[in-house]
Copies of this chain bind each other. A is one copy, B any other.
Amino acid sequence: MKVRVLVRLKPGIMDVQGAAVKRALAGLGFSEIAELRIGKVIELELDETTPDARARVREMCGQLLANPILEDFTIETVTDLAPREVAR
């Protein structure tokens, strides 16, 4: 079973990395960006037998994957983690 976790800074928290990338893109001529924020994506492949996988992943986030002070996380179940429209 494939699960995707998105970990992002909470809305009120200054995203220094995102601000730097936004400015760098503006310097390259991409001035249409109103906002840019950077987070982590963690893609997990769980054993098929895992009962209540989503709850288990939520526990993992609480214990290790996300910092509850600064970050929010979202858990998505994906049918196939290999992206359909991929650029290599």
Contacts and interface: CB of A to CB of B under 8 A. Distances in A.
Interface of A: 6, 8, 10, 18, 21, 24-25, 28, 30, 32-47, 49-50, 53, 56, 58-66, 68, 72-75, 83-88
A33 B32 CA distance: 40
A82 to B, nearest CB: 8
- Of A18, A32, A59, A72, the most chain B CB neighbours within 10 A belong to A32
A83 B74 contact: yes
A25 B85 contact: no
Contacts of A21: 42, 64-65
5 contacts: A28-B64, A33-B45, A58-B87, A66-B87, A74-B84
A43 B37 contact: yes
Nearest to A27: B64
Contacts of A30: 56, 59-60
